[in-house]
A and B are shown apart, each in its own frame.
Chain A
Amino acid sequence: MGRFRKHVIQPILDCWSLIVGLKITGKYFCKPLITVHYPRQTIDSENLSTYGGHVELIGKPKDPATPKCISCMMCVTNCPSNCLKVVKQKAPKPTPEQEAAMKAAEEAGEKVVKPKAPKNPAKFMYDYTKCSLCGTCIDNCPPKSLRFSNNIYWVATSREEMNIDLLARLKEQATEVSGAAPTPKVEAPAPAEKEA
């Protein structure tokens, strides 16, 4: 009886699943479309926020134009596609007075304080054509200075345009934010004043 059930009754019961399948696709046929006709419509920012576009730098909370990056090279070492390129800043050349002071300190046997190189990078290049958006750089960044952008409308006609200067982009974003949103407008000049 078990064989009869397996080979005769079960297939007949299985035919019901065919009807169920037709019902499901029929239901989807009647539902409204969910795709967007891109050039005429775009996705709202709420949906964009979950999208992982190319990698970009995060600015310091008080100084959005400078990245949190400390040029530790963790992202470059861990990138499987080798698409990041970071150049550290060199220590500034001491002025003649500083040099004289340093020499004097050395002669006196005191501890010489050489000017340190700033931690933020001099250059942060990113080749989007090689990137596979794996997020390893983001996971490995100690100061949490990298994130996926939600820049999905990125079009270029040449490979070179896809080689993005992330520092320049961050600066652009900082000015854009301060230009567009009214609240950071007040805050944005504050760090500039401090620097001055």
Chain B
Amino acid sequence: MFGLPMILINLIIGVIASMAWLGLNALVLVYCERKFAGHIQRRPGPFEVGPHGVLQPLIDGVKLMSKQLLIPDNADGFLFWLAPILSMIPVLVLFMPIPFSPHFGLEVNLGLLLILAFSSFNGLAVILAGWSSNNKWGVLGAARAVSQTVAYEIPLLIVVMTISFMSGSLDMSVITEQQAGGMLHWNIFKQPLAFLIFIIAMFGETNRAPFDLAEAESELTAGFHTEYSSMGFGLFFMAEYGYMVVMSSVCAVLFLGGFHAPIPGLDSWIWMLLKIYAGLFLMIWARWTYPRVRFDQLLNINWKWLLPLATANLLVTAFVMKL
């Protein structure tokens, strides 16, 4: 077709599809977030634009895009605009190794490693954003956000390592395959502590409440994205929702059996989506339940509780596997 090799066309379609998936998720999640918040506070949430306010996130997007793109005086323009792009682009790669259904998803034997490696790009994007803003609040916020992401990545890595110890592979489809055959084969029942640590680290890693110190706009001057207007901020925002979806998918694959149904024989991508969205709803629910923690509390939870527990869990698992 048009003299282009087939693989290139496939690639382009793939990129567009994952961008659409990402954008759609962001829209749906913004809407769900606001509706959830509304119902928890016993008010309707967005209601005026479209039936039950369903067009509200679209309108918000239009509003965000119509704003002026600003660069602060004496800021490094190149790095300033590189940062949101660097935050956004890796998310597209992250969807690659996730097996959404038996036939959909790249089989790479380093799938988990790829996800962990590319999701760390966010830390780089954050520090670039804060540094290039020429704003002390930006730098402080970036330092805060990076120390949080780096800290929460360690227990997350250890927990993921525990699971890959058990399955002997870093390929996400292999890990899914090993959880086939009903609910009781899921890793959540084999590794309940690891699941708990993963959930907490997931909140910290995606900067979600109660660990959303990276973006406490009213209390902590927003931090690294203080200077971003329009879609610069929008990209960070979309990337955050993208990371939420990725983390929720990884959680579903590692602990909840991926696309496997609770009862054997009904495997389908619908189960995967259900599990992803259950995870996302847990994150939204928690956001509107818990108050934001203080920064020292945040780091204490990580270094004093999650890290030792994750390490102990890993050692016990290794010991049991060796026996």
Residues of A within 8 A of B (CB): 11, 18, 21-22, 24-26, 28-29, 31-35, 37
Name the B residues within 8 Å of A37 (CB-CB): 44, 47
Q: Across chains A and B, which 8 residue pairs bring their CB atoms closest together, nearest first?
A: A35-B43, A25-B289, A21-B289, A25-B40, A34-B42, A29-B39, A29-B40, A28-B40
Q: Output the nearest chain B residue to A31 by Cβ-Cβ distance.
A: B42
CB 8 Å contact bits of B5-44 with A (1 = contact, 0 = none)? 0000000000000000000000000000000100111111
Please give the distance in Å from B41's CB to the nearest CB on chain A.
7
Name the A residues within 8 Å of B290 (CB-CB): 18, 21
Given contacts A29-B36, A37-B47, A24 and B289 within 8 Å (CB-CB): yes
Per the 8 Å Cβ criterion, residues 218-251 of B in contact with A are none
Looking at chain B's contact residues, the main secondary structure is loop
A22, B44: Cβ atoms closer than 8 Å = no
B44, A35: Cβ atoms closer than 8 Å = yes
Please give the distance in Å from B305's CB to the nearest CB on chain A.
7
A33, B285: Cβ atoms closer than 8 Å = no
Inter-chain pairs besides A29-B39, A34-B42, A37-B47, 12 sampled, C-beta below 8 Å: A21-B289, A22-B285, A22-B289, A25-B40, A25-B289, A28-B41, A28-B42, A29-B285, A32-B42, A33-B43, A33-B44, A35-B44
Please give the distance in Å from A40's CB to the nearest CB on chain B.
10
The complex places the Cα of A31 from the Cα of B44 at a distance, in Å, of: 12
The complex places the Cα of A124 from the Cα of B44 at a distance, in Å, of: 41
Name the B residues within 8 Å of A35 (CB-CB): 42-44
Name the A residues within 8 Å of B47 (CB-CB): 37
Q: Output the nearest chain B residue to A18 by Cβ-Cβ distance.
A: B290
Q: Does B288 count as interface, using CB distance less than 8 angstroms?
A: yes
Name the A residues within 8 Å of B42 (CB-CB): 28, 31-35
Please give the distance in Å from A167's CB to the nearest CB on chain B.
39
Please give the distance in Å from A4's CB to the nearest CB on chain B.
14
Name the A residues within 8 Å of B44 (CB-CB): 33, 35, 37
The complex places the Cα of A25 from the Cα of B39 at a distance, in Å, of: 9
Q: Does B286 count as interface, using CB distance less than 8 angstroms?
A: yes
Please give the distance in Å from B282's CB to the nearest CB on chain A.
9
Please give the distance in Å from A7's CB to the nearest CB on chain B.
9
The complex places the Cα of A26 from the Cα of B284 at a distance, in Å, of: 11
Q: Output the nearest chain B residue to A17 by Cβ-Cβ distance.
A: B290
